A and B are shown apart, each in its own frame.
Chain A
Amino acid sequence: MTTSTEVKRRPLAGAAPARARRRRSGGGYAVFLIPGVLLSLVVIVVPLLMNVGISFTRWQGVGTPEWIGLDNYTRLLGDENFWASFRNIIFLIVAMAVVPTLLGLVLAAVLFDYVGKQIGPRTASVLRSGFYLPQVLPVAVTGIVWGWILNPSFGALNAILTNVGLDALAKNWLGDPAYALYSVMVIMVWFQIGYPVVMFMSGLQRVDPELYEAAAIDGAGWWQRFRRIAIHLIKPEIYVVLVTTTIAALKIFGQIFVLTRGGPGNATLVPSYFAYQNFFEKAQVGYGSAIATVLTVIIVVLAVVFLRIQARSERRDLL
Chain B
Amino acid sequence: MNARLSRSAVLAVLTLLVIVVLSPFALVALNAVKSPAEYASGGPLSLPDSLYFKGLADFWIRVDFGEKLFNSFLISASVAVLAVIVSILNAYALGIGRVRGRGAFLVFFLLANLLPQEALVYPLYYLSKEVGLYNTQLAVIIIFTAIQSAFGTYLLSSVYTAFPREMLEAAAIDGAGKWRTLWRVVVPISWPSLSVLFTFFFIWTWNEFFLPLIFLISNDKQTVPVALGVLQGDRMMDATTTSASALLGIVPAIIFFLIFQRTLTRGVMAGAIK
Tell me the A residues contacting B by CB distance below 8 Å. 2, 25-33, 35-36, 39-40, 42-44, 46-48, 50-51, 54, 61, 107, 110-111, 114-115, 118-119, 123, 127, 129-131, 133-134, 136-141, 143-149, 151, 154-156, 159-160, 162-163, 190, 193, 198-199, 202-203, 236-237, 240, 247, 250-251, 253-254, 257-258, 271-272, 275-276, 279-280, 285, 288-289, 291-293, 295-296, 299-300, 303
Contact = CB atoms under 8 A, between A and B. Distances in A.
A240 B225 CA distance: 27
Interface string B245-260: 1100110011011000
B118 A240 contact: no
A110 B161 CA distance: 36
Nearest to B126: A61
B57 interface: no
Interface stretch (B48-56, B145-153, B187-195): B145-153
B21 A193 contact: yes
Interface in B143-199: 143, 145-147, 149-150, 153, 161, 178, 182
Contacts of A54: 122-123
Interface in B93-141: 93-94, 96-100, 105, 108-112, 114-127
B249 A115 contact: no
B63 interface: no
B21 to A, nearest CB: 6
B135 to A, nearest CB: 14
Nearest to A31: B93
Nearest to B7: A118
B232 A143 contact: yes
A116 to B, nearest CB: 12
Interface string B16-56: 01100110110110010000000000011100000000000
Secondary structure class of chain B's binding surface, majority of residues: helix
Contacts of A296: 115-116, 119
A143 B229 CA distance: 8
Given A30-B99, A33-B105, A131 B122 contact: no
B246 A141 contact: yes
16 contacts: A39-B146, A47-B124, A51-B119, A107-B17, A139-B207, A140-B209, A143-B232, A145-B24, A147-B232, A148-B246, A156-B45, A156-B239, A198-B268, A253-B209, A254-B210, A276-B121
Interface of B: 7, 10-11, 14-15, 17-18, 21-22, 24-25, 27-28, 31, 43-45, 86-87, 89-90, 92-94, 96-100, 105, 108-112, 114-127, 142-143, 145-147, 149-150, 153, 161, 178, 182, 203, 206-210, 213-214, 224-226, 228-229, 232-233, 238-239, 242-243, 245-246, 249-250, 253-254, 256-257, 261, 265, 268-269, 271-272
Given A145-B28, A258-B229, A300-B114, A32 B272 contact: no
B102 to A, nearest CB: 9
Contacts of A154: 238-239, 242
Given A40-B112, A47-B127, A110-B10, A149 B27 contact: yes
